């Protein structure tokens, strides 16, 4: 698409070469293929089962903490928890968890009608995947306790 480039000037080719996108994003296509191979080796059923075990464990641990309100209790749900911490803004909780090296989403998650059903405008949302561990959930639980203590 380019005929010549210098620090002073860029000269474009004539159409249609002028509109060519350039080299395709081959690296991402290869990376996606490798990721799919990896997930297939693990097995979708196995990863789903493990992620559900993480969700059950995290739900049990977080529900025991005075000052934590868990939103939503569907039996068949993805491994995501939405929660509110008493007397804490969700943005503050997200920032404090980030400082502990724990990644969560904090805000309305483009789900304001669902959140409003529970009487809230925002939540903190950790999600769990096959690469997470039970130890990481323990770290999350400990951090939430420290945040509530203040």
Which of 150, 61, 78 shows the shortest CA–CA distance to 70?
61
- Contact indicator for 127, 55 with CB cutoff of 8 Å: no
Give catalytic status of residue 92 as yes or no: no
Catalytic residue among 75, 110, 113, 119: 110
CA distance 96 to 147: 7
Q: Catalytic site residues?
A: 110
């Amino acid at each position: 698409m380019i005929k010549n480039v210098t620090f002073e000037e860029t000269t474009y080719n004539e159409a249609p070469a002028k509109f060519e996108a350039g080299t395709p994003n081959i690296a991402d296509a290869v990376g996606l293929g490798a990721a799919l191979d990896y997930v297939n080796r693990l097995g979708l059923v196995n990863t789903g089962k493990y992620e559900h075990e993480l969700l059950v464990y995290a739900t049990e641990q977080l529900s025991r903490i005075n000052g934590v309100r868990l939103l939503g209790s569907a039996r068949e749900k993805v491994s995501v928890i939405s929660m509110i911490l008493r007397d804490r803004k969700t943005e503050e909780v997200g920032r404090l968890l980030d400082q502990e090296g724990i990644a969560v989403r904090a805000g309305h998650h483009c789900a304001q009608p669902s959140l409003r059903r529970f009487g809230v405008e925002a939540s903190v949302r950790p999600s769990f995947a096959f690469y997470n561990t039970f130890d990481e959930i323990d770290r999350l639980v400990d951090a939430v306790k420290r945040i509530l203590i203040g």
